[in-house]
Chain A
Amino acid sequence: MSNKACDAGRRDFLKAAAAVVTLAPGVTLMSIPAAAAPRPADQPASATQRWGLLVDTTRCTTDCTACVSACRTENGISGHGRPATDPQWIRKIELRNETTGATHSLPMMCQHCANPPCVDVCPTGASFKRADGIVLVDRHTCIGCRYCMMACPYKARSFVHEDVEDQRPDVPRGVGTVEGCNLCVARVDAGGLPACVESCRSNGNGAMLFGDLNDPKSEIAQRVKTYATTQLRADLGLDTGVRYQGI
Chain B
Amino acid sequence: MAPFSSLPRKREPITGGEWIPACAGMTRKVRIALGLLGVLFAVLTTAPAVAEGVPLPAIPKAKGEKCVEEPQLMRRYHMEFLGHQRDATMRQGIRTTRHSLKECISCHAVDGTDGKPVTIKSEQHFCNACHSYAAVRIDCFQCHASTPEVPGRQAAR
Which chain A residues have a beta carbon within 8 Å of chain B's beta carbons? 39, 41-45, 69-70, 73-74, 128, 130-132, 136, 138-140, 163-164, 166-170, 172-177, 185-186, 189-190, 195, 199
Name A177's closest neighbour in chain B (CB-CB).
B143
Report chain A residues within 8 Å CB of B149: 168-170
7 A-B pairs with least C-beta separation: A174-B143, A44-B92, A174-B142, A172-B143, A45-B93, A169-B145, A172-B144
CA distance A190 to B95 in the complex (A): 9
Given contacts A74-B157, A169-B149, contact A41 B143 (CB under 8 A): no
Chain B interface residue count, CB cutoff 8 Å, equals 24
**Does the CB pair B95–A167 fall under 8 Å?**
no
Can you name 14 extra interface pairs (CB under 8 A) apart from A174-B142, A190-B95? A45-B92, A73-B156, A132-B93, A138-B91, A139-B143, A164-B143, A168-B145, A169-B105, A169-B144, A169-B145, A173-B143, A174-B143, A176-B142, A189-B93
**SS class of chain B's interface: helix, strand, loop or mixed?**
loop
Q: Does B154 contact A (CB under 8 A)?
A: yes
Given contacts A164-B143, A195-B157, contact A170 B92 (CB under 8 A): no
Report chain A residues within 8 Å CB of B97: 41
Name B153's closest neighbour in chain A (CB-CB).
A168
Q: Does B78 contact A (CB under 8 A)?
A: no
Given contacts A70-B157, A170-B149, A199-B157, contact A128 B144 (CB under 8 A): no
Can you list 17 A-B contacts with CB-CB less than 8 angstroms, sorted by A residue number? A41-B94, A41-B97, A43-B94, A44-B94, A45-B93, A130-B92, A136-B90, A138-B91, A167-B143, A167-B144, A167-B145, A168-B153, A169-B148, A174-B142, A177-B143, A185-B93, A190-B95
Please tell me which one of the listed residues B93, B105, B142, B144 contacts residue A130 in the complex, with CB atoms under 8 A apart: B93
Which among A70, A131, A136, A172 has the highest number of chain B CB atoms within 10 Å?
A: A172
Report chain B residues within 8 Å CB of A186: 95
Name A138's closest neighbour in chain B (CB-CB).
B90
Which chain B residues have a beta carbon within 8 Å of chain A's beta carbons? 86-88, 90-97, 102, 105, 142-145, 147-149, 153-154, 156-157
Report chain B residues within 8 Å CB of A74: 154, 157
**Does the CB pair A73–B154 fall under 8 Å?**
yes
CA distance A130 to B88 in the complex (A): 11
Q: Looking at the assembled complex, report how far the CB atom of B91 sits from the nearest CB atom of chain A, in whole angstroms.
A: 7
Q: Looking at the assembled complex, report how far the CB atom of B51 sits from the nearest CB atom of chain A, in whole angstroms.
A: 36
Name A173's closest neighbour in chain B (CB-CB).
B143
**Does the CB pair A175–B145 fall under 8 Å?**
no
CA distance A116 to B105 in the complex (A): 35
Name A140's closest neighbour in chain B (CB-CB).
B86
CA distance A149 to B17 in the complex (A): 36
Q: Looking at the assembled complex, report how far the CB atom of A136 sits from the nearest CB atom of chain B, in whole angstroms.
A: 7
**Does the CB pair A175–B92 fall under 8 Å?**
no
Name B155's closest neighbour in chain A (CB-CB).
A73
Please tell me which one of the listed residues B87, B96, B144, B147 contacts residue A42 in the complex, with CB atoms under 8 A apart: B96
Q: Looking at the assembled complex, report how far the CB atom of B132 sits from the nearest CB atom of chain A, in whole angstroms.
A: 20
Q: Looking at the assembled complex, report how far the CB atom of A75 sits from the nearest CB atom of chain B, in whole angstroms.
A: 11
Q: Looking at the assembled complex, report how far the CB atom of A50 sits from the nearest CB atom of chain B, in whole angstroms.
A: 14
Report chain B residues within 8 Å CB of A174: 142-143
Report chain B residues within 8 Å CB of A190: 95
